[in-house]
Amino acid sequence: MKKDVAIVSYAHEKYGRLEMDTEEIIHKMVKEALNNTDKGIYSSEIDWIIVSCVDNQFSNQHQTGTVAWEALGNKNARAFRVEAACCSGSMAVYLGREFIRRNIATNVLVIGFEKMSNVSTEIATGILMRGSSPEERRAGITQPAAYALMIQHYMKKYGATEEDFAMVSVKNHENALRNPWAHFHRKITIEDVLNSRIIATPIRLLHCCPISDGAAAVILSGDPRKYTDAPVYITGMGMAHDAFSSFRREDPAFLLASKLAADEAYKEAGITPSQIDIAEVHDAFTPVEPMCYEALGLAERGEGYKLIREGRVMFHGDIPVNVSGGLKAKGHPVGATGIGMIVEQYLQLRGEAGERQVPNVEIAVVENHGGTGSVSLVTVLTR
């Protein structure tokens, strides 16, 4: 297990509705991340800034990299923005890590944000549909509908039920009660989920992540002990793609890109799925969460939904998943999401997750996919 790049600091804003504009959010993340290392870091020590933001129409700003650069106040630093749909945040971390490993940088500040409340729900759904394949978009297949088609494959193939999926929503809402950064702090029941209005059959409102504002940041370092005695190492990272249209994949009921990304990350980290203590996965629509368990190897193919039935992925289960509340209840400000997931595991590994701390976390994993699984990144973190 190679420990060459670690997280030495973070910043995290509460997800939900932010009054701040794009520039204020970025400034706040830069400032808080710089002030949050255990031993201190100067802005002059940051070599690169990578900003993750999915859509200009949300942010009203193309040059988010330059905004961050000005906020940092280090003329020698360089900054740019990345986009990889809903996994843009993980993509930004992936690049920052590679910059350090390839000696392009020693310290990289990675910021993710999205200001989605700038537009109405209809407009936001339309913007997010730009993450569907061209043929899906022409037919009018929205993100929930694209997931709905995959989920129907899954239900038909393996016998998962609407109750199973409702339980995932209930679990993630319950977990979010322990997370002060969560968009929702509301307990829900299986009946609430099953009676909520239909968005795209069989997906209901309470299966869907909210449209959230939010921001998160990490500082990655190739010299972590200089900044903290408790760094959290990124010991494995993988990235993979699959067909853009879900129905063109070899198996639309499986997240192949996430599995390939997980295989790559586990191989690099030298771990097996059985060693994982906790996972944050991409439950943009909760019926897909069991498919994430399978892609990560936490369950056999077609058996992911049994983990929720058996309670194993609950907060007190043997493999807690989405203790943060997940995208469903913590929120999904798309550009921030992947970084927010990584911040959660950073805190868990440092024992600083407060009320939602899972005991004895040694190995934590993040699965963050985009476009219903056409692109995916998996990250392994350890102390």
Partner 1 sequence: MRAKLKFYSIIYEPPHPFKVMYAVGVVEDEKGQVYPVRIESKYIPFLETGIEGEVIKESTIFGEVYHFIPDGKGFQLERVALITGASRGIGRATALEFAKRGYNVAINDLELTPEGESAIREITLMGRKAIFVKADISKYEEVENMVKEVIDAFGRIDVLVNNAGINIDKLVINMTLDDWRKVIDVNLTGTFNCTKAVLPYMIKQGGGSIINVSSMSAFIGTIGQANYAAAKGGIISFTKVIAREYARYNITCNAIAPGAVKTRMLLSVHPGILKERIAQIPLGRFAEPEEIAKVIVFLAETPYINGQVIHINAGEYM
For the CB of residue 250, give the shortest distance to partner 1 in the complex, in Å.
Answer: 12
For the CB of residue 383, give the shortest distance to partner 1 in the complex, in Å.
Answer: 43
19 binds partner 1 (CB under 8 A): no
141 binds partner 1 (CB under 8 A): yes
**Token output for 253:** 């009921």
Between strands 232-241 and 375-382, the pairing is antiparallel
Cβ proximity to partner 1: between 144 and 338 the closer is: 144
Instruction: Specify whether 332 is catalytic.
Output: yes
Coil, strand or helix at 126? helix
Name the segment binding partner 1 (CB under 8 A); options: 69-77, 148-156, 164-172, 182-190. Answer: 148-156
Q: What distance in Å separates the CA atoms of residue 123 and residue 94, rounded to the nearest whole number?
A: 30
242 binds partner 1 (CB under 8 A): no
Identified binder of partner 1 from the candidate list 148, 279, 295, 342, rule CB under 8 A:
148
Strand ranges (E), 27-122 = 48-52, 78-82, 107-115
250 binds partner 1 (CB under 8 A): no
For the CB of residue 327, give the shortest distance to partner 1 in the complex, in Å.
Answer: 18
* 86, 87, 208, 292: the active-site residue: 86
56 binds partner 1 (CB under 8 A): no
For the CB of residue 268, give the shortest distance to partner 1 in the complex, in Å.
Answer: 35
Is there a contact between 369 and 252 (Cβ–Cβ < 8 Å)? no
The residue count for binding partner 1 (CB under 8 A) is 33
* 12, 207, 332, 369: the active-site residue: 332
Name the segment binding partner 1 (CB under 8 A); options: 35-43, 46-54, 108-116, 143-151. Answer: 143-151
Task: List the one residue out of 60, 112, 115 whose CA is nearest residue 83.
Answer: 112
For the CB of residue 57, give the shortest distance to partner 1 in the complex, in Å.
Answer: 11
Name the segment binding partner 1 (CB under 8 A); options: 173-181, 186-194, 197-205, 292-300. Answer: 197-205
Is there a contact between 226 and 107 (Cβ–Cβ < 8 Å)? no
Please list, in sequence order, all residues whose beta carbon lies within 8 angstroms of the beta carbon of residue 174, skipping any fewer than 6 positions away.
Answer: 187, 315
Helix and strand element counts for the chain (H, E): 14, 11
Q: What distance in Å separates the CA atoms of residue 143 and residue 84, rounded to the nearest whole number?
A: 15
Strand ranges (E), the chain = 6-12, 48-52, 78-82, 107-115, 198-200, 203-204, 213-221, 232-241, 278-280, 363-370, 375-382
CA count, 13 A, side-chain hemisphere, 241: 6
Is there a contact between 128 and 372 (Cβ–Cβ < 8 Å)? no
137 binds partner 1 (CB under 8 A): yes
177 binds partner 1 (CB under 8 A): no
Identified binder of partner 1 from the candidate list 75, 140, 250, 355, rule CB under 8 A:
140
Identified binder of partner 1 from the candidate list 22, 245, 376, 379, rule CB under 8 A:
245
Cβ proximity to partner 1: between 66 and 196 the closer is: 196
Please list, in sequence order, all residues whose beta carbon lies within 8 angstroms of the beta carbon of residue 89, skipping any fewer than 6 positions away.
Answer: 52, 112, 216, 335, 336, 337, 338, 339, 340, 341, 342, 368
Please list, in sequence order, all residues whose beta carbon lies within 8 angstroms of the beta carbon of residue 35, skipping any fewer than 6 positions away.
Answer: none
55 binds partner 1 (CB under 8 A): no
Site for partner 1 in 303-332 (CB under 8 A): none
Cβ proximity to partner 1: between 13 and 55 the closer is: 55
Q: What distance in Å separates the CA atoms of residue 378 and residue 282, rounded to the nearest whole number?
A: 10
Name the segment binding partner 1 (CB under 8 A); options: 64-72, 162-170, 193-201, 325-333. Answer: 193-201
In terms of Cβ atoms closer than 10 Å to its own Cβ (0-12, 13-18, 19+), residue 230 is: middle
203 binds partner 1 (CB under 8 A): yes
80 binds partner 1 (CB under 8 A): no
343 binds partner 1 (CB under 8 A): no
Q: Which residues bind partner 1 (CB under 8 A)?
A: 120-123, 125-126, 128-129, 135-142, 144-145, 148-149, 152-153, 156, 197-203, 245, 247-248
Active site residues: 86, 332
